[in-house]
Structure 1
């Protein structure tokens, strides 16, 4: 993906369900806000703006399922990052539980970063 292409909005992956629309919108925004509190310790940008979050599903029972990646398979915090995500999202009011799944397909590239993250790391 080039820098000029539109970034994929992971919120498009949020499953629309029997949750009332206003509540789903609040949960979605709050989950994303929680994800923005989790930082890769090697990069001065949060994991959401880095593009490490590939998919967010909010199920009818308010269970949040997150598909994410890391900047590299050998990332030093690979064992800890999913727990950080679970703790942050689990603290969101109304969330009944959190499951974090890791994937490296497709592998992360800097093209997934938002402009905000690119500015934070001095690439923009």
Structure 2
């Protein structure tokens, strides 16, 4: 977020009314769970990139745990639908990518703990 002088002379963040809040987008993504794994897809490390645009567009690059994942059709749609509900989002697009391939090292510590994978 950009910082500038306010009219009173103090510095502070300048809100971009068209820019969706990244924390809110991440929180929305975290509501989506892989049906075979009891951890949300953000903590699993399936989200590779989140691009926020000034016009409210959000572009997400994600992967799946395996190319033959049975949820390959529904997970990207669930992510798109969840992000589209975030205030300030005008359009949400999700692209599946395979490079780099997902592996367990991308999982958060919380996900490892939940799955007892330490």
TM tier relative to shorter chain: 0.7 to 0.9
* Deviation by residue 1:3-43 (Cα, 9 ceiling, x = unmatched): xxxxxxxxxxxxx78xx457689710000000110000111
Match of 1:116 among 106, 110, 113: 110
TM-score, normalised to structure 2's length?
Answer: 0.84
Q: In structure 2, how many angstroms separate the alpha carbons of the residues matched to 1:25 and 1:63?
A: 8
Matching residue of 1:47: 41
TM-score, normalised to structure 1's length?
Answer: 0.80
Q: In structure 2, how many angstroms separate the alpha carbons of the residues matched to 1:35 and 1:116?
A: 16
Match of 1:29 among 23, 29, 32: 23
Matching residue of 1:93: 87
User: Which structure 2 residue ranges, 5 or more long, are not aligned?
Assistant: 3-13
Matching residue of 1:59: 53
The number of equivalent residue pairs is: 107
Match of 1:38 among 13, 17, 32: 32
Q: In structure 2, how many angstroms separate the alpha carbons of the residues matched to 1:26 and 1:100?
A: 16
Return the structure number with greater helix share: 1
